[in-house]
Structure 1
Amino acid sequence: MSITHQPSVVLSDVSFSWPDGTPALDHISAAFGTGRTGLVGANGTGKSTLLKLITGELIPVAGTVTTNGAVGYLPQNLLLTTEVTVSDLLGITDKTDALRAIEAGSVETRHFDALDEAWDFEVQARAALDNVGLEKIDVDRAVGTLSGGEVVLAAVAGLRLRSSRSEGVVLLDEPTNNLDRGARHDLYAAVAAWPGALIVVSHDVTLLDLMDDTAELRLGHLELFGGGYSDYQEQVDREQAAAEQALRTAEQKLRTEKRQQTEAQTKLARRQRYARTDFVNKRRPRTIMNQRKTEAQVSAGKLRGELDEKVAAAQEEKRQQEGRIRDDTAMRITLPDLDVPAGRRLVEFSDDHGASLVLQGTERVALTGPNGIGKTRLLESLIRQARGDGSSDDGSTGTQNSVRTSAFTDRIGYLPQRLEHLDDTVSVIDTVRAAAPNSSVEQVRASLARFLFRADRVHQTVGELSGGERFRVALASILLAEPAHQLLVLDEPTNNLDLDSVDALVSALGGYRGGLIVVSHDDAFLDRLGIDTWLELQHGALRRGGL
């Protein structure tokens, strides 16, 4: 006897629009399997919206969403009060209270019901925490004492623990955004061994390659592909190559049909001139010439109609093939012309142990280290010094004034991890014009179009934008700045970028002829940047190294 497994999530002709009538999802029908599925798509396509429809937080305007069992959800921005404990995240607080009451002598039925025969829940909880690298975290610990990455991992452990007890599906929305390299690898291991259905929204290629299937949300529609992200990308690339070839064939066909139409019309015009000459010179009887004239007109009309139909069919085929080409969501970044001399000193890092690094010319530095070690603080110290807002100070954990920075240029473009420097009340175009005051409104609008801000969207205020859109405004402001920056400092730049935009950023930085400092836990992104020097920040010290 065979066992049939139901899909974990079924979407039947689902549509969703925002209260102002803006459509987000359009007649989506799909079934997510019982394994691991990566949900990908450009920023703003509705991935988080789709997850909220699956959880029931949002209700579709049409269609139905059916889930097989309970739904666990890790939101993109996990907001928790400091009083919440790890036990709460694991979902075992009720069981813990019940067990303590029973151990104290209580025989109330409600305590035994709360345990539900799961007398080994503490062992399971401990194993769940250990599996995500939180061996030293106690279940009674308040989340206010944990780092952001530890909170995310504890929440993931809780979701896995609950999903192992019952059938259902777990949804993770950008789970690696706040994780350092070590925590990411702990999460990868947990996902690789995930026991049930899992849907993951992420821009982390390493995580997405662990998936069994990939679902792409694009232009309001959902399409499923077999395999992880790399398999999906290979299939898309093959489809695009075929589409581009088909478009070239359609364009050639259209040119051929138009040429044949022109040639035929020229021949018809020539015949009509000959016929008029014969009629005027009376070379044949009038009745015969009138009959031939009528026949020629009918034949010419029929031929023109056939030619017009062929041209119209070729034009329609060309339009259809153009629709298969993906050119709708990717940023097209062009950096200003710049050439920093190879010997031009830009920044120096040093510590009290004698370690130092001088960044010169077009050198590229990856600044690494675990969360909480002080990487962001070190960069902010550098920026303050470059702007003349204060002397260089300690950039480590604050326990020792042993890590220092020295800036040798004030032309530094800084993209912080948190975009709190943006004014929510200012429009997109005015925000960027402030960084490029010598550019005309038309020039700034043209540049913003390459960052996917087109038409009236340039007049939206920053406060109306999504996280990914705010990031693109901040990125445009530093990359289009006048004069061009000699050094770019990027703190976790891939956290808010979709994969197409990451590709565009990598491509643009490939042609940037200035210095670059990048903080990132995204190994795949760093590998593509062509890093020259790896600098690891430790407690009170710097260490050169690699991954």
Structure 2
Amino acid sequence: MSFPSAVVLHDLSFHWPDGTPVLTHVSGAFSAGRTGLVGANGAGKSTLLRLIAGDLQPTDGTLTTTGTVAVLRQDVTRAGGTLADLLGIAEVRAALGAVESGSVDPTHFDVIGDAWDIEERAAADLAALGLPTDLDRAVRTLSGGEAMLAAIVGVRLRGADITLLDEPTNNLDLPTRRRLYELIDSWCGTLIVVSHDLELLNRLDATAELRAAELTVFGGPYDDYRAWLVTRQEAAARALRAAEQVLRREKRERIKVEERIAHSQRQGRRDRENRKYVAAVVDDRRNSAEKSQGSRRTAAGAKEAAAREAVAAAELQVRDDDAIRVDLPDPHVPRGRRIAELPSADGRTQRIQGPERIALVGANGVGKTTLVEALLPTLTVRHGYLPQRIVLDETATVLDLVRGSCPRMPPGEVRNRLARLLVRGDMVDRPVGALSGGERFRVALARLLLADPPPELLVLDEPTNDLDIPSVDQLVTALASFRGALLVVSHDLRFLRRLGLDRVLELDGTGTLAEGDVDLPGAGITT
């Protein structure tokens, strides 16, 4: 199935005011269907959405859209105000209220447009998804998942031609995700979704990857794209090996030419010394030989240079994605040591003992984060906490921020260890406020993993929210070498299954904690 283009990029570049490049000479197009936008953290996915939405303007190149644009931003769950504000209908409600009070101001009618029944439609859509319908309710009283789903309802209510969703399944439990999937399955118009949720990506019509200033659009869901990419990478690797063989051959040929020229030059010197020929003949033959040698040298050098260029071009087609490499210090947590106790409404206590790996799961709104944050002040062991909503000093540099957790470590060693967590180069000296969501996550993770002395317990609340698919793999690798206790709150079943969990605790709406299946088939978790 093919669709006309709804968003077209031509030689698009964007730099931050300080000159930091985010996108460089990107060209491509999004069709009028449902497309998943993927790419490494920091590749510029969220920035591209902001450019499409008109929040930012290109530094160079052009970006054209067909129709109106609505956007759901990655940080929507941090919004304040009321549910009506989150839905984006507060202004229309205010105009409706003014008209109902007798106002005949034309601006109120302009604001309302055709949305005279917006409150009824909003309440119906919210109720259909099991969400609160009180439009004056404060957003802060909603769970992260409820806020995200309500914001998506608002986007649909506005009926834009082009809709942009940035990580829409963050914080959503399985039932809520499935309701979102149903919404997206029936979505009309153009939909561009930035996500690392594989089930969501596999429900879409197309996949676009932003990588190395190139936008690759594939006409199929994510798994099909990955299979196609694997085939391409295998072909690229073969092409690289063939180009390297050609380069080695041309290098050998160039060396042989140089050896023959050197031999000829030695012979010429001997001829002159032996005076076998009169001077004129020697000079004539020497000039002819030099011309021939120069021609052969030039041809051999050109072939080797062309072979080197072919290798360089082939190397660009072969991906060399980095992986986190970390060797964490052992916090020496004995098996029998009591690490923490989690209270349950039924009067029983769930204990974390020794270097256990435990997942805390449950539906949205049951209080998982509240339980964790109530636990932290009671801990008597060294611990590190990665909250669902990471808050860092925006003005501090990455190096200074991380050194605060390991002040005795020399700056050079901190840089080396940060590099193993893929925090390196000029990123180390940049202010935190200039980082992408995934980069901020890696910095926050570095503060925990590089802490001196090391934590005996790590508490992670929805750690995969801002991570692309390769970064989730890298996080699993990093945590594999942690030898302390681990408590993870997550709805990401694929992630939890890879952690080698010892136990699963499920929290229900009454505050009761119960042992779950370590194979994670529970209703509070995404599949």
1:72 aligns with 2:66: no
In structure 2, the partner of 1:212 is: 205
Alignment partners' CA distance in 2, 1:9 and 1:250: 37
Deviation at 1:475, TM superposition (A): 0.9
Alignment partners' CA distance in 2, 1:526 and 1:97: 47
| 1:238-277 to 2 correspondences below 5 Å | 238-277=231-270
Question: Higher mean Cα deviation, 351-360 or 63-72?
Answer: 351-360
Q: What SS class does the counterpart of residue 469 from structure 1 fall into?
A: helix
In structure 1, the partner of 2:491 is: 521
Alignment partners' CA distance in 1, 2:383 and 2:107: 63
Alignment partners' CA distance in 2, 1:443 and 1:115: 60
In structure 2, the partner of 1:391 is: none
| Residue 499 (structure 1) aligned to one of 456, 469, 477 | 469
Q: Is the 8 A contact 1:506 1:528 kept in 2?
A: yes
Q: What SS class does the counterpart of residue 373 from structure 1 fall into?
A: coil
Alignment partners' CA distance in 1, 2:397 and 2:91: 47
1:108-129 C-alpha deviation (Å, 9 max, x unpaired): 9999999988898777545533
1:382-424 C-alpha deviation (Å, 9 max, x unpaired): 44344x4xxxxxxxxxxxxxxxxxxxxx34333222333x444
In structure 2, the partner of 1:137 is: 133
Look up the equivalent residue of 2:263 and give its one-letter code.
R
Alignment partners' CA distance in 2, 1:477 and 1:114: 48
Say how many residue pairs are matched.
514
Unaligned runs of at least 5 residues, structure 1:
389-409
In structure 1, the partner of 2:168 is: 175
1:287-310 C-alpha deviation (Å, 9 max, x unpaired): 554443333322222211111111
Question: Higher mean Cα deviation, 92-101 or 524-533?
Answer: 92-101
Q: What SS class does the counterpart of residue 413 from structure 2 fall into?
A: helix
1:462 aligns with 2:452: no
1:413 aligns with 2:384: yes
1:47 aligns with 2:45: yes
Q: What SS class does the counterpart of residue 517 from structure 1 fall into?
A: strand
Q: Is the 8 A contact 2:359 2:490 kept in 1?
A: yes
TM (norm. structure 2) is 0.83
Q: Is the 8 A contact 1:128 1:160 kept in 2?
A: no
1:9-67 C-alpha deviation (Å, 9 max, x unpaired): 33344333333344433343333222211122233333222222222222334444333
Deviation at 1:536, TM superposition (A): 0.9
Alignment partners' CA distance in 2, 1:68 and 1:342: 62
Q: What SS class does the counterpart of residue 160 from structure 1 fall into?
A: helix
| Residue 230 (structure 1) aligned to one of 223, 233, 236 | 223
Look up the equivalent residue of 2:31 and give its one-letter code.
G
Look up the equivalent residue of 1:442 and give its one-letter code.
G
Q: Is the 8 A contact 1:132 1:190 kept in 2?
A: no
1:422-448 C-alpha deviation (Å, 9 max, x unpaired): 444543212222333443222211222
| 1:395-414 to 2 correspondences below 5 Å | 410-414=381-385
Look up the equivalent residue of 1:343 and give its one-letter code.
R
1:161 aligns with 2:132: no
| 1:74-153 to 2 correspondences below 5 Å | 74-78=72-76, 80-85=79-84, 89=88, 94=93, 97=96, 124-125=121-122, 127-134=124-131, 137-138=133-134, 141=137, 143=139, 145-153=141-149
1:36 aligns with 2:34: yes
1:235-288 C-alpha deviation (Å, 9 max, x unpaired): 333333333332232223222222222233223323433343344334556555
| Residue 452 (structure 2) aligned to one of 482, 491, 514 | 482
Alignment partners' CA distance in 1, 2:279 and 2:95: 111
In structure 2, the partner of 1:541 is: 512
| Residue 435 (structure 1) aligned to one of 382, 402, 405 | 405
| Residue 334 (structure 1) aligned to one of 326, 330, 336 | 326
In structure 2, the partner of 1:193 is: 186
In structure 2, the partner of 1:306 is: 299
1:59 aligns with 2:57: yes
1:429-468 C-alpha deviation (Å, 9 max, x unpaired): 1222233344322221122233444344423343454443
Q: 1:445 and 1:71, CA in 2 relative to 1: closer, same or farther beyond 3 A?
A: same
Q: Is the 8 A contact 1:214 1:229 kept in 2?
A: yes
Deviation at 1:313, TM superposition (A): 1.0
Alignment partners' CA distance in 1, 2:125 and 2:204: 20
| Residue 24 (structure 1) aligned to one of 11, 22, 25 | 22
Deviation at 1:535, TM superposition (A): 1.3
Q: Is the 8 A contact 2:71 2:163 kept in 1?
A: yes
Q: What SS class does the counterpart of residue 28 from structure 2 fall into?
A: strand
Deviation at 1:187, TM superposition (A): 1.4
Alignment partners' CA distance in 1, 2:109 and 2:374: 56
In structure 2, the partner of 1:343 is: 335
Q: What SS class does the counterpart of residue 498 from structure 2 fall into?
A: helix
Look up the equivalent residue of 2:51 and give its one-letter code.
L
In structure 2, the partner of 1:395 is: none
Q: Is the 8 A contact 1:493 1:520 kept in 2?
A: yes
Alignment partners' CA distance in 2, 1:447 and 1:482: 13
Q: Is the 8 A contact 1:175 1:202 kept in 2?
A: yes
Q: 1:493 and 1:143, CA in 2 relative to 1: closer, same or farther beyond 3 A?
A: closer
| 1:346-385 to 2 correspondences below 5 Å | 347-349=339-341, 351=344, 352-354=346-348, 356-361=350-355, 363-385=356-378
Q: What SS class does the counterpart of residue 222 from structure 1 fall into?
A: strand
Q: 1:216 and 1:184, CA in 2 relative to 1: closer, same or farther beyond 3 A?
A: same
TM (norm. structure 1) is 0.81
Unaligned runs of at least 5 residues, structure 2:
522-527
Deviation at 1:490, TM superposition (A): 1.6
Alignment partners' CA distance in 2, 1:54 and 1:463: 22
Look up the equivalent residue of 1:333 and give its one-letter code.
R
Q: What SS class does the counterpart of residue 65 from structure 1 fall into?
A: strand
In structure 1, the partner of 2:524 is: none
Alignment partners' CA distance in 1, 2:128 and 2:158: 14
Alignment partners' CA distance in 2, 1:108 and 1:443: 66
Look up the equivalent residue of 1:277 and give its one-letter code.
R
Question: Higher mean Cα deviation, 225-234 or 137-146?
Answer: 137-146
Q: Is the 8 A contact 1:368 1:520 kept in 2?
A: yes
Q: Percent identity?
A: 48
